[in-house]
Amino acid sequence: MDPVLIQLGPLAIRWYGVLLAATIGLAIVVAYRLGPRLGVPAAVVDRTAVTCAVAALVGARIGYVVSHPGQFSTLLDVVRVDQGGLSSHGALAAGLLYVTWAARRAGISVWAFADAFVWAVPIGNVLVRIGNFINGELYGDPTSLPWGVRFATAPDVPRHPLQLYEAALAVAILLYARRVAARRRFAGEVFWTIVVATSLGRLAFDALRSDVRVLGPLALGQVPALILVVWGAWALWQGARHPPQAS
């Protein structure tokens, strides 16, 4: 499949960019719908949704640059978003920093705020991973399984379509997280449920990417994923043991 959706002279509109924009739009819609139920007034969502998205995008770019320094030699290379990529963990880190600042400024719970905006993570893993699939990137090791895919960027042998694995898992996480949100016991439960489940998937799927090992058997994306699983499991355990009186 052609990664370019529409070519207008020198301007190329790519599937990846369209799906990323759709991720942001859908995440904002979900924040509007669920925010008030999770302790975040609609007026606060209205004031912060766009800037939160911008912060996450900037963090995603910075995270990619920091984790792939060899691809960038000048500042111009860093700001040229048509070169290189984005880091989901960079987006999460920057988004959480912004959420902390914005929630304290609005006088509401940081974790309630995080519960309202974390839906961008699984939504992005559905849509953006499809964009990665179309681009022929982030595929896994060679496989003899019947659903192996020969990518144009690696046509030698069929490979694990890890992008589709992550997208399928993200759909399941969205469905489960909706149930968690409906019976949420404490602020932060939705956020950490989504983050832990997504990170467990990253640990499993990146095990099928032997070309990106950076720390013994661990791939680059597995290092922060492991940290998030431990942190998130502790947060969920603590929240269940000592739920606050109010979100």
Domain ranges of the chain: 4-241
pLDDT tens per residue, range 182-241: 999 999 999 999 999 999 999 999 999 887 777 778 888 899 999 999 999 999 999 988
Helices (H) and strands (E) in the chain, counts: 9, 6
Max distance between CA atoms of the chain, in angstroms, equals 59
pLDDT at 247 over 70: no
What is the per-residue pLDDT for 244?
64
pLDDT at 177 over 50: yes
pLDDT tens per residue, range 79-94: 776 677 888 899 999 9
pLDDT tens per residue, range 83-142: 778 888 999 999 999 999 999 999 999 999 999 999 999 999 999 999 999 999 999 999
pTM: 0.91
What is the per-residue pLDDT for 246?
45
Among 176, 193, 185, 183, which residue's Cα sits nearest to residue 232?
193
How sure is the predictor about 170, in pLDDT bands with cuts at 50, 70 and 90? very high
Distance CA 231, CA 125 (A): 21
Query: What number is the average pLDDT over the span 17-22?
Result: 94
What is the per-residue pLDDT for 98?
95
